[in-house]
Amino acid sequence: MADMSQGRSNVPHGGSQAAANRTISGSKGLELAEPLIFEMGEAGRCGVDFADAKVSNDRLNGMRRKAAVGLPGLSEPQVVRHYTRLSQKNFGIDSGFYPLGSCTMKHNPRINERVARMKGLGDLHPLQPTSTAQGALELIDTLATWIKTLCNMPAVAMSPAAGAHGELCGIMSIKAALEARGEAATRTRFLVPESAHGTNPATAAACGFTVDSIPATERGRVDIAAFKAKLGPDVAGIMLTNPNTCGLFENDIIDIAAAIHEAGGYFYCDGANFNAIVGRVRPGDLGVDCMHLNLHKTFSTPHGGGGPGAGPVVLSAALAPFAPVPYVIHDADGFEMVEHKADSDAQPFGRLKGFHGQMGVFIRALAFMLSHGAEGLLQASTDAVLNANYLRAKLQDVMSVSFDGMCMHEVLFDDRFLKDTGVTTLDFAKAMIDEGFHPMTMYFPLVVHGALLMEPTESESKDTLDLFIKTLRGLTARAKAGEAQSFKDAPVLTPRRRLDETAAARKPVLRWTPEA
Ligand SMILES: *Cc1c(COP(=O)(O)O)cnc(C)c1O
């Protein structure tokens, strides 16, 4: 295995500072170097004393393994330390500030976790008879009511498992509606602003539509004239994010909704940024036909690293009949699930997901809503916007804000402030890691050069934001003072330096093979 203290070999070390950071053991302070569990293991070592097994040779009909399985042999303290150290290498919202724009990495209140672990909820099984899970169905129904109320929309499909899955649900609902109108063959074009999250064009394309990109204005909003010029009888709809990925409210949204409807298309709103407006703006009032919510963003359930999320989709009256099964219904006898198309009195387009949605996320999201109440949710979105504007106000004289005026819950900078310094957005982000901050989102959205998109969320204190501001101002001053090399070397304090991220993604090595 490579020397733990070395960075990637083609990255120069930063002279004496890097030398000082090189240790004999490979550990740094009390952050210990950690080999793979297979490298530590030793054949024959074991954490438990097993009695000799009585092996019956014919039980497996000659299929018994001939060689050792190759499990690593470790003692109990070795195992405990290994996994504890691994857990400490992870950076999460519980470790520090995580201003990853477009991701809403807010605090996950512990009351949500308590509720999710309550016996009656934690021990539920999706295949148990609905008569024994009435409380769970009521919980889904209550959450659906909150979502419909916050959005002022008549229906919601609860089963999508993430934002992108919600987009799929929404676009499939639109496709089903177009089929019912007999226009699926002619309405084949989806309009998507160029600032959109990559999942938007990907979803439209996956559903068989051609994607037609709408340019942005210098104000960071949809170019409404360009949008209107693209309308025609072949347009199925628009996918618009509001607040958009530049962290700005699309002021022309009501006009856009009216124009797309007049042209016979549907309005898909990407509601991943609902965190900025929940309790203040109701998408139904803006003319939206369908919109996914990322419960794991707006309503604080843990996410990241591909973990579970939930992307319920609110639907207008025009699209509600096409919502997928299963869904909860409610009559005098209690709650039931409609599981099959044949049992539905509507026209569901089918089923998107096994079982009923992400129950663990539903529980946490409803706990968040109920513990905040309507006023608390409004306070949260207000504070999210306040925090982002605080960053903007305190950094705009030294860093380049991409668009003038107030932002919503995230603030977008570009790399003009780094011009002629030799420092790139990537270098700047790497230097932030040495300072103990998770970098912001970089190089997204694509509408500005070298984007730095920061989303503090409402759950950060002024103290945290002030330290972050002081750090970024300091780094900016260093970059402008000609200290480019210190950025090129960064990070110097991490267990690994600059990794070849492209190779890691393209050619992942997921399997350990013993050295010959
Ligand atoms: C996060 C996000 C998505 C995708 O949501 P996932 O839950 O990650 O699939 C889509 N659009 C926007 C604007 C987002 O921020």
Stretch (H or E) spanning 81: helix 76-89
pLDDT band for 364, please (50, 70, 90 cuts).
very high
Residue 272 Cα to ligand 1 midpoint, Å, equals 6
Cis bond leading into 326, ω under 30°?
A: yes
> Atom 12 of ligand 1 has which residue's CA nearest to it?
272
pLDDT band for 220, please (50, 70, 90 cuts).
very high
Task: Supply 324's token pair.
Answer: 């997928």
Looking up tokens 């740094």, which residue turns up?
28
Regarding the beta carbon of 241 and ligand 1, being less than 6 Å apart is answered yes
DSSP, collapsed to helix, strand or coil, labels residue 273 as coil
Regarding the beta carbon of 272 and ligand 1, being less than 6 Å apart is answered yes
Q: What percent of the chain has pLDDT over 70?
A: 96
Regarding the beta carbon of 243 and ligand 1, being less than 6 Å apart is answered no
Residue 62 Cα to ligand 1 midpoint, Å, equals 52
Task: Supply 166's token pair.
Answer: 């919600």
Regarding the beta carbon of 309 and ligand 1, being less than 6 Å apart is answered yes
Contacts of 416 (CB under 8 A, 6+ apart): 400, 449
> Atom 4 of ligand 1 has which residue's CA nearest to it?
163
Stretch (H or E) spanning 454: strand 452-454
Regarding the beta carbon of 391 and ligand 1, being less than 6 Å apart is answered no
Distance between CA atoms of residues 151 and 369, nearest Å: 14
Regarding the beta carbon of 193 and ligand 1, being less than 6 Å apart is answered no
Q: What is the mean pLDDT of residues 256-273?
A: 98
- Ligand 1 pocket mutation pick from 102, 248, 274 by most atoms within 8 angstroms of CB: 102
Residue 164 Cα to ligand 1 midpoint, Å, equals 6
> Roughly how many angstroms between the first and final C-alpha of the chain, as a whole number?
13
> Atom 8 of ligand 1 has which residue's CA nearest to it?
163
Regarding the beta carbon of 100 and ligand 1, being less than 6 Å apart is answered no
CA angle, 376 as apex, 372 and 378 as ends, to 5°? 135
Distance between CA atoms of residues 258 and 219, nearest Å: 21
Task: Supply 425's token pair.
Answer: 């957005």
Show the domains of the chain with their CATH numbers.
Answer: 112-368 (3.40.640.10)
Distance between CA atoms of residues 493 and 18, nearest Å: 9
Residue 166 Cα to ligand 1 midpoint, Å, equals 9
Atom in ligand 1 nearest the alpha carbon of residue 162: 7
Among 155-159, 457-461, 490-494, the range scoring the smallest mean pLDDT is 490-494
Residue 306 Cα to ligand 1 midpoint, Å, equals 12
Residue 270 Cα to ligand 1 midpoint, Å, equals 8
Regarding the beta carbon of 432 and ligand 1, being less than 6 Å apart is answered no
For residue 437, count other CB atoms closer than 10 A to its CB.
Answer: 21
pLDDT band for 24, please (50, 70, 90 cuts).
confident
Distance between CA atoms of residues 488 and 14, nearest Å: 9
**What's the pLDDT score for residue 135?**
96
**What's the pLDDT score for residue 44?**
83
| pLDDT tens sequence across 422-454 | 999 999 999 999 999 999 999 999 999 999 999
| Residue 241 and residue 194 in contact, taking contact as beta carbons nearer than 8 Å | no
| Residue 275 and residue 384 in contact, taking contact as beta carbons nearer than 8 Å | yes
- Residue with the bigger pLDDT between 355 and 265: it is 265
Angle, helix 425-434 to helix 462-480, in steps of 10 degrees: 130
Distance between CA atoms of residues 234 and 209, nearest Å: 10
Residue 303 Cα to ligand 1 midpoint, Å, equals 11
pTM of the predicted model, to two decimals? 0.90
Residue 378 Cα to ligand 1 midpoint, Å, equals 22
| pLDDT tens sequence across 47-97 | 888 888 777 767 778 888 888 888 899 999 999 999 999 988 889 999 999
Regarding the beta carbon of 192 and ligand 1, being less than 6 Å apart is answered no
